[in-house]
Amino acid sequence: MKYAFIQRHKRVWPIRVQCRVLGVSVSGYHEHLVRRRKIVQRCHLSDEALLGPPIFVCIAAPLAPQSPRGSRL
């Protein structure tokens, strides 16, 4: 929710100031945008999906199975 707030108000207040006030890192905000854009591209959603909460109804690609930490394949 903090990242969505920052995105909606980026023309009102500088991103750096919003991040400081909301207690998030600027790099974390930008990483979030990159992740959201990748999901939007895979799901063929519109740019408006970047502003809302992360609700996606498609399965973009099957995730590769991950082994539990400490186990060997």
On the question of pLDDT at 70 being above 80, the answer is no
CA separation, residue 35 to residues 3, 30, 61 (Å): 12, 9, 14
Q: Is 47 left (phi over 0), alpha (psi -120 to 50) or beta?
A: alpha
On the question of pLDDT at 62 being above 90, the answer is no
Task: Name the one residue in this structure whose structure tokens are 């996606």.
Answer: 56
Q: How confident is the model at residue 67 (pLDDT cuts 50, 70, 90)?
A: low
Q: pLDDT tens digits, residue range 15-52?
A: 999 999 999 999 999 999 898 888 777 776 555 555 55
pLDDT at 1: 81
Alpha helices in the chain (DSSP H): 2-8, 15-22, 26-43
